[in-house]
Amino acid sequence: MIKKINYITYQTFPATTANTLQTISNIKYIIKNGVEVTLIFPLREVQSSSDLSTLKEFYNISENFKVIGTAHNLPFGKYRKLNRISFLISHFYWSYSTIKNLEKKDYKTNEYYFTRSDWVFYFLSRRGEKVIYECHQYTKLRKLLIKMSLRNEYSKIIFLNELLKDDYSSRYILKNNYKVLQNGVDVEMFENNGSNNINEIIFIGRLTRFNNPRNIDFLFKGIAGLEDKYSLKIIGASKDELKLYTKLANQEKIQDRVTILESLSHAETIWHLQNAGVGILINSKSNQHSIRYTSPLKYFEYLAAGLKVVAVNFKAHNILPYSEEIIFFEDNNINSFRNAILESSNRESSIINNKSISLDFRVKSILNFLSK
């Protein structure tokens, strides 16, 4: 039986990003399943905090866990023009020093490690620790690190979808040491029903991915050709993006039908979801992650909120749970998008088994896999 998990991540907290929300939600349900958790992360942003009460208030959770925020005297975040290089350097050195400073654990203890960091996974595996790595992306470096890490018999991997697993697969890497699990949602947060406006289209999350635009301007052009009863709401804009897309809405003459908001608390975002009608999944083809590997947290929140889902026709979206309920449109095809929105108006909302997409179900699967 697992008694304790040390969750070590190069993310920082608190933050409104989907990946930090997923981490905190994972921790919430690990604790609910009777496991003690210690969260270890770098204090690499001005707003970073290792104060538990601050994190509990920010993420609207009640569970108690130990928090260790480590000093981050590294270049990432200080040189914006060199962000990619400084991230790689800082991630490596932080992971190395953090694992080096950990107390060596007895193999007989029921203490485990969980991480979303490939370098943390590698350094823990070199020590022979019991560790599970949740893999969200593909790179050649990451494939090499995984290959070396899996020499440790106690190392295991969670892949977000089958395409990601397939791209890492080889007979000398993957055996019985992996599991494929799509994302999940904290269904407890959606217990209060809203009054869905079937003609309100909503997108939540950052408007860029890996510094590339998500093709949000395409949504504006698509909405512009629909009847006035259709409205668009976007939640997650930066201050600069708010100005940019407000200007674009005026140019398209749809300013009265578009609402653009900066990032909100999770509870506020859920309220807006429960009062919308259609959730949008859109990305650009600028990177393989968007096309093949994504398992968007927003998708599962759309389902939990009772929304119909309209998505760009990418392979990763095709293999999402309940993908047969998604209305797809072709990438950068305005008519295809408008037809998908019109079709959504004529569809009943699907009845989804919330248990099957719940984080509780997902975490139970992870804990069972980790303890084998």
Question: What value, to the nearest 5°, has the Cα angle with vertex 11 and ends 6 and 12?
Answer: 100
Report yes or no: 136 and 116 within 8 Å, Cβ to Cβ.
Answer: yes
70: helix, strand or coil: strand
Report yes or no: 277 and 196 within 8 Å, Cβ to Cβ.
Answer: yes
Cα(210)–Cα(93) distance, integer angstroms: 22
- The pLDDT assigned to 74 comes to 66
Q: Which two tokens stand for residue 45?
A: 């942003």
- The pLDDT assigned to 172 comes to 62
Q: Which two tokens stand for residue 56?
A: 């509990």
Yes or no: domain 187-345 corresponds to CATH 3.40.50.2000: yes
Report yes or no: 235 and 202 within 8 Å, Cβ to Cβ.
Answer: yes
Containing 41, the helix (H) or strand (E) segment is: strand 36-42
Yes or no: domain 4-180 corresponds to CATH 3.40.50.2000: yes
To the nearest whole number, what is the mean pLDDT of the chain? 91
Residue of 180, 137, 139, 138 whose CA lies nearest to 156: 180
Number of neighbouring beta carbons within 10 Å of residue 216: 22
Cα(15)–Cα(26) distance, integer angstroms: 15
- Per the document, the length of the chain is 372
- Could you give the percent of the chain with pLDDT greater than 70? 95
- The pLDDT assigned to 106 comes to 54
For residue range 104-146, list pLDDT tens digits in order.
655 556 689 999 999 999 999 999 999 999 999 999 999 999 9
Cα(10)–Cα(300) distance, integer angstroms: 24
Stretches where the chain sits below pLDDT 50 are none
Tell me if domain 4-180 and domain 187-345 are identical in fold.
yes
Containing 220, the helix (H) or strand (E) segment is: helix 216-224
Number of neighbouring beta carbons within 10 Å of residue 144: 13
The domain locations on the chain are 4-180, 187-345
